[in-house]
Structure 1
């Protein structure tokens, strides 16, 4: 009877979740509802599914007691609006009707066309217009008019009575009660970016738009019973039961097959490709690999996952063969030997003892997916290929749904209440939390936020998830067109999984860009071809492992951060397996739980490790009895407790918080204990093993994921070790990594490269290198316009080197302001003139208004020249200019800015000689990290370079830092105690001060 129900997916309008709506309807005894959210169908399938699920008896005992829950009949549609103006509501008769509605809305979203006043013909859709006093249309067969109870008095002698079969009961539902109506008003004010008091009646719903008992609703229309009958007849004719799947595992909605011959063709093709790949990866007659391959293929076929593998293979093949792109396949997909053989991943699951069950097994209910990384500037090409490869409406990006949980929403609530900015700022300052809790206004803001925090706020686009559907996706959702430019579904990955879609994650990272460009530069600069996939030899290279052990892999993916460098030194990491472990234990959860410290201790004293039992020793010997990976949880559950691998993975997933059924989880826990007892273990031992599993599982990280990271780290490390100049140029051109740009320029200089300031006759948009000469690119110059950045190298390539300043100005049509930037930075030094002389000259050319000439000169015109006196130029002044325009001085160290010549008593390389002693050091600030202690105080970790260019690290405890704070980039005098932790030296800071610098000569003058 309720034809126009809004959920909270009517963003910043509706106030109730799907479950709240259903719960309220059941409480009121309502039997039918039509969910019609505004310009979206985000919650349609969820609504249908939940209505049917709640109508099914959960326990056999319910049937005996007669407590069989009744079923609310779910119907869905879409309410169409332009701004605040309601146009009409579309109600789907059936599944085809939902597709028609979704396709209609999608077309307008994608093509950015306003919705029409009258919708097009839709065979399986009812269209309902809102009643108006002067409304008298000629209605089509599927068109109706909805009238509210309070509008019935307007029906007297109304022309619509001549079409009385077209009149329907109209009772919109938007809020739950008076409290949530107030919440609705806040939401509207936030949406409209106005004060709460300025939201007009037309911009919000009526206060009575909440669910009421069906009897009460029909009583409003007792003088017009035909309206109730019309409404009932319409709802009775709708049937969306096709959307409900009475199964815990929904049928896959992905493309069913890749080959034209269907499922059997997919099986044959996948097997053929896997066998070919097996020979490439393992050579001939590797029985162990073949056995593993056959086992995986059986499960892949059983779970109808062949097409998923083949579509992923097709994407990889296109990227590698057609585009020459480099990729990294990571995540749990790296547990698969089939993926390894298809070159989806580069991780050998046999070498690392990775379980396929971590990725896919017979009992898995949620679909797994591959994470495929491409370079940041190549991913879009791959995405475009996918959208071109598959038909319209069959491919779309996955959406995301952000909520109001972010405390920044308090700022929005404060704004709509009209609070002054200063007061709002104080309410969002974490340091004033305790004080604010005593403030009545702040308490009001918190109360509103409490109601709002779990509500959907806005739809967006997933980082890289793409859906490829067998049937049009518009059966399940309308599509948006975000700024990214690809059609996007209106729900997130959780709803996608519930419906039955497996996503294809096409992601990006800059580390891949470093590797790709370094290989290209090595070919160009040294004429050498690098097989960057020759990982088997990389991991055996003693030179690479030696650099790992030293903990100085600046620029290398995932292993260059201060925390990772420290960990590598503490572990004296000199091999692949240790790096895999380090990639896992560096994660915040593992580190904060104390497991990282425990692992390091056991790593250095393996003979002293006491294992709980022989099984635990056998399974965790590689990690010294510490469960480092998710796979360790699976191993212990399987080999210690006797669970099969499928149940072991389900239990692992459940403990990570990704399992929704507490009842099913409790059954698995009981099964673990019962099975472990059957294995003959004591109750005390079982309890302790379970304690360790349950305390770790939530922090655990996939070994396959760590292994993928470690492979990429080794590839970066290989390039940096043997081709350091080209590698560091590639890092700079892909916008660095963990550190600021100047750190990578410093590393490039350390390789022996001669790094030059930008030059109009040698530089390109980005850094280039020829031999040992590297020229910084124009793109890094602050204030330089993009058109000039592109124009300078393009014009030089087309017409040769610039001959002088006059020639440069004429050929580039540069403005005075842009020319000054280049001259100040020395980019026209090829002229042989100093910067100040060039500044005089450029004003001679451009310092007065000229009429622009749009054609080439017939005769060369010369300008008058003047003989200038010698102009003073200082190295310090130039360094300040570089600091201003590049963000760092190139050939003038930060230490040289200091007023003092003191550079510290101790250098970083000598710290090991001063253990336990208090020393004074001078360091150039690199970065800092803030952490919160268990006592809810803050402490800091700093990273610095000494005057020789070596890194050292500092620890700033809560009791010292407030007196001696960080003050941004520059050089600091550090007084502290040298301490050592597993061979890694650092400074515990006692006093800390930023040193004064010399004034810029320009400022003095």
Structure 2
């Protein structure tokens, strides 16, 4: 009978600087090797732990969670040490989260997060199984240095500190491995310590060694041929089978047996699933449900007073708003999401009252009347037929997700407010991982193979760029004859692609998610470990990415930076300075005839949000928009897929062609878009009016269509045709309509998003029409370092008869400014080599001591 063995040491691609193993795929390797458990122990990190935990659990393999930690050497920090920590139980998992977070947030040295053993209390130590680190631990290093007494002293200290301590043994072909194994076994016997065999796994198969060396060289900035390159790995650091491990340590059977014993002792269960919101404070102990309903009803009254100043008109309109609001409130309460809405409205309304511009909405959230009433969004969803069920579906329970745009320069202030409200230890941003894409990996591998930059760049340019799709090397080899021929006929290119194919898709870098912010109900480290580049508070992120933080129960809030909001705010500052009046852009009606006529109908949209491209200029001239609903439709149409429908849309609008409706009930749904389905919401309304779906069911249908789920489509087709028959629609017409819906749902756009962004676009168009100098000066400030974009806006300013003034040491600020109406002054920041610090110093000097002479 084959003896059992469990791998307890493994670096995956999430060790970032070394390790090639994919935490999902390696599970299959363990199954093939007949193992019942497997550990993930990345370098002072747990980035891939949730991915691994889910994959292993699903495959029936016991996941063991740990980390190969850098330990602070108080005698010589340059000679850092390592210990392997494995979580024995849930307390051990929390201890790991705590230790790694403290290492990266408070104790970095030379880009290493280091664990200080003085942090570890006896209670914390009891939750961990600790392995000595073999050649990288204090004991192993002392033996290698010939100091057996120091090794013994260190072994006594560690075994006293950690009740579950093991002497680690490895055999991977390093020069001193055998000597170190022999001395470690002797020391363990002397002190009565258990030993355990580990295999420091870095890659899957022995032939992957060279590819792993390239991976490490890319991370460290060396070429493979460089003699100074550190060579710390061996070809034997692959995923050995249990038979190989048993053979390798047949002289020390207890070392093999103890790997299984440790695996039995490690029992960590991560609670996956239900999201947990932070506690939102309510007045007088009011329930979250009642408080949200109260705020929503009060907010609706305020909104309606602005929308309908005439009291009689307001009274006439009130019932339909009231009905919609109460329906939404009930759904939100039944789905138990009032807390989420309260948290979001709180930080948005704080931003609005503290000089932090906020967008009118983004994504499907703009379809909620409750959100509009609470001040989360600023677009009346009833005025534009926006559907709440596109945002929150009572028939498919999932967390609501408001994407919120903040002025880029003020986004950090809002995050700081959230930290002050819920506590620093409860708020962080989220990790995101950059991977080696086809083009990038060719350049990376080209560099480590000492290939010239121009040659690697030439090869990378052969990979086609497609909107919305990252072409893989396999696809490029299959679909691009020139690339395939180059790889076949050029030995250097062939070698490069051999390496690149192995490394493509591997995690290369760690970054901060563009918008995601976590707010935990308590300490974040009770859910996941944290990381901070450079130990800076503003860089604190979860070690888990956005999917994994949600899996462990944390709720993600999207704080996105939108430079257009910054441009608008700065333009308003310039206008107020020049005219003494600040336009009330927040409550603007989108009905200014002059703005449509002079800006949108003429395609005069340089610097106008969402409508800047040459293709959009032409579309605007052809379409001649006269109202916001026209801008919304054009915004949704001008993208791959629906672009093909633009000629029909224009012909029908111009009366050159007649709109066709398969059923008269489609007219109110489609007449705004010339009888063509442009929006996902229209697909949902057709399913409701013709197929008899509820709006929740219609949203499920839309999602299935968008995902091109063939089996689900067959089922839904029957449901739709049967529902249509009940509504008096023939099977032939219903089948035709279903096919049309299927086609449009594949690329139909979210109307709520198009509406909210078109509203922002209108504001920028209005500003350009009435205050071109102030608006374009503000726009120029955002593109100062891009000569091409700057020139385009400067030429546009000239066309608008704006006077352009050069840089002036006594007048210019860092940004472009508008010192007077119809004047733009060049900013010092537009001068090559002048950064914000010198520009501010110049400004301060002239303010304190008068103009430069």
- Shorter-chain TM-score: which interval? 0.7 to 0.9
1:238 — aligned with what?
Answer: 266
1:42 — aligned with what?
Answer: 47
* CA displacement 1:691-717 (0-9 Å, x = unmatched): 333333342321111111111122222
- Cα offset, 1:522, TM superposition: 2.4
The answer to whether 1:445 aligns with 2:496 is yes
Aligned counterpart for 2:65 among listed residues 54, 58, 76: 76
Give the count of matched residue pairs.
Answer: 772
Partner Cα separation in structure 2 for residue 653 and residue 444 of structure 1? 43
The answer to whether 1:428 aligns with 2:460 is yes
- Cα offset, 1:682, TM superposition: 5.1
For the pair shown, the structure with the greater C-alpha radius of gyration is 1
2:18 — aligned with what?
Answer: 13
Question: Counterpart of 2:39 in 1: which secondary structure?
Answer: strand
**Higher relative contact order structure (alpha carbons within 8 Å, sequence separation ≥ 6):** 2
1:126 — aligned with what?
Answer: 129
Contact 2:772 2:822 in 1 (8 A): no
The answer to whether 1:541 aligns with 2:589 is no
2:805 — aligned with what?
Answer: 756
1:673 — aligned with what?
Answer: 718
Cα gap change, 1:188 to 1:156, in 2 (>3 Å): closer
Cα gap change, 1:500 to 1:684, in 2 (>3 Å): farther
1:320 — aligned with what?
Answer: 352
Aligned counterpart for 1:106 among listed residues 92, 101, 117: 101
Contact 2:768 2:775 in 1 (8 A): yes
Cα gap change, 1:616 to 1:221, in 2 (>3 Å): same
Question: Counterpart of 2:86 in 1: which secondary structure?
Answer: strand
Cα gap change, 1:612 to 1:182, in 2 (>3 Å): farther
The answer to whether 1:527 aligns with 2:575 is no
Cα gap change, 1:222 to 1:676, in 2 (>3 Å): same
Structure with bigger strand share is: 1
Partner Cα separation in structure 1 for residue 216 and residue 661 of structure 2? 61
| 1:511-526 → structure 2 map (5 Å cutoff) | 511-526=564-579
2:476 — aligned with what?
Answer: none
Cα gap change, 1:441 to 1:752, in 2 (>3 Å): closer
| 1:696-715 → structure 2 map (5 Å cutoff) | 696-715=744-763
Aligned counterpart for 1:331 among listed residues 348, 363, 367: 363
Partner Cα separation in structure 1 for residue 749 and residue 232 of structure 2? 47
- Cα offset, 1:91, TM superposition: 0.8
Question: Counterpart of 1:769 in 2: which secondary structure?
Answer: coil
| 1:205-604 → structure 2 map (5 Å cutoff) | 205-214=233-242, 217-218=245-246, 220-221=248-249, 224-241=252-269, 243-245=270-272, 250-259=273-282, 265-283=287-305, 285=315, 286-323=318-355, 325-430=357-462, 433=483, 435-438=485-488, 439-482=490-533, 485-535=538-588, 537=589, 539-547=590-598, 548-591=600-643, 594-604=644-654
Cα gap change, 1:669 to 1:340, in 2 (>3 Å): farther
Question: Counterpart of 1:309 in 2: which secondary structure?
Answer: helix
1:906 — aligned with what?
Answer: none
Contact 1:35 1:44 in 2 (8 A): yes
TM superposition score normalised by structure 1: 0.71
The answer to whether 1:731 aligns with 2:763 is no
Question: Counterpart of 1:679 in 2: which secondary structure?
Answer: helix
Contact 1:13 1:184 in 2 (8 A): yes
Contact 1:346 1:711 in 2 (8 A): no
- Cα offset, 1:170, TM superposition: 1.8
TM superposition score normalised by structure 2: 0.83
1:177 — aligned with what?
Answer: 205
- Cα offset, 1:161, TM superposition: 0.9
Partner Cα separation in structure 1 for residue 283 and residue 255 of structure 2? 52
Partner Cα separation in structure 1 for residue 503 and residue 184 of structure 2? 43
Partner Cα separation in structure 2 for residue 282 and residue 180 of structure 1? 67
- Cα offset, 1:92, TM superposition: 1.0
Contact 1:155 1:161 in 2 (8 A): no
Cα gap change, 1:597 to 1:694, in 2 (>3 Å): same
Question: Counterpart of 1:608 in 2: which secondary structure?
Answer: coil
Partner Cα separation in structure 2 for residue 49 and residue 399 of structure 1? 19
Question: Quick check: 738-747 or 300-309, which moved more?
Answer: 738-747
Aligned counterpart for 1:167 among listed residues 195, 215, 225: 195
Partner Cα separation in structure 1 for residue 302 and residue 523 of structure 2? 38
Question: Quick check: 131-140 or 562-571, which moved more?
Answer: 131-140
Cα gap change, 1:301 to 1:778, in 2 (>3 Å): same
* CA displacement 1:862-893 (0-9 Å, x = unmatched): xxxxxxxxxxxxxxxxxxxxxxxxxxxxxxxx
Partner Cα separation in structure 2 for residue 606 and residue 397 of structure 1? 53
Cα gap change, 1:744 to 1:208, in 2 (>3 Å): closer
- Cα offset, 1:279, TM superposition: 0.8
1:605 — aligned with what?
Answer: 655
- Cα offset, 1:219, TM superposition: 5.7
Contact 1:481 1:487 in 2 (8 A): yes
Indicate the RMSD between aligned Cα atoms, in angstroms. 3.1
* CA displacement 1:64-108 (0-9 Å, x = unmatched): xxxxxxx21112011124899760111112233222212212222
- Cα offset, 1:213, TM superposition: 4.7
Contact 1:326 1:516 in 2 (8 A): no
* CA displacement 1:450-485 (0-9 Å, x = unmatched): 222222222111112111112433244322223683
Question: Counterpart of 1:232 in 2: which secondary structure?
Answer: helix
Question: Counterpart of 2:287 in 1: which secondary structure?
Answer: helix
- Cα offset, 1:290, TM superposition: 1.5
* CA displacement 1:523-578 (0-9 Å, x = unmatched): 2221223211223x3x2222222222222133322223322221111111111101
Contact 2:99 2:115 in 1 (8 A): no
- Cα offset, 1:340, TM superposition: 0.8
Question: Counterpart of 1:18 in 2: which secondary structure?
Answer: coil
Question: Counterpart of 1:317 in 2: which secondary structure?
Answer: helix
1:4 — aligned with what?
Answer: 9
Partner Cα separation in structure 2 for residue 648 and residue 327 of structure 1? 28
Partner Cα separation in structure 2 for residue 155 and residue 356 of structure 1? 70
2:790 — aligned with what?
Answer: 741
1:870 — aligned with what?
Answer: none
* CA displacement 1:384-428 (0-9 Å, x = unmatched): 222333323321111211211231211221222233445334323
Question: Counterpart of 1:598 in 2: which secondary structure?
Answer: helix
Partner Cα separation in structure 2 for residue 337 and residue 199 of structure 1? 66
Cα gap change, 1:96 to 1:296, in 2 (>3 Å): farther
1:915 — aligned with what?
Answer: none
Cα gap change, 1:738 to 1:519, in 2 (>3 Å): farther
- Cα offset, 1:356, TM superposition: 0.9
Cα gap change, 1:787 to 1:101, in 2 (>3 Å): closer
Partner Cα separation in structure 1 for residue 345 and residue 271 of structure 2? 32
Contact 1:81 1:87 in 2 (8 A): yes
| 1:798-837 → structure 2 map (5 Å cutoff) | 798-802=848-852, 808=853
Cα gap change, 1:554 to 1:571, in 2 (>3 Å): same
Contact 1:315 1:386 in 2 (8 A): yes
Question: Counterpart of 2:108 in 1: which secondary structure?
Answer: coil
Partner Cα separation in structure 1 for residue 625 and residue 741 of structure 2? 26
Partner Cα separation in structure 2 for residue 385 and residue 655 of structure 1? 41
Cα gap change, 1:633 to 1:601, in 2 (>3 Å): same
Cα gap change, 1:773 to 1:17, in 2 (>3 Å): closer
2:472 — aligned with what?
Answer: none
The answer to whether 1:716 aligns with 2:764 is yes
Cα gap change, 1:541 to 1:235, in 2 (>3 Å): same
- Cα offset, 1:2, TM superposition: 1.8
Contact 1:52 1:244 in 2 (8 A): no
1:96 — aligned with what?
Answer: 91
1:929 — aligned with what?
Answer: none
1:694 — aligned with what?
Answer: 742
The answer to whether 1:793 aligns with 2:838 is no
* CA displacement 1:565-621 (0-9 Å, x = unmatched): 211111111111010011111123432xx1233322333238612233344445323
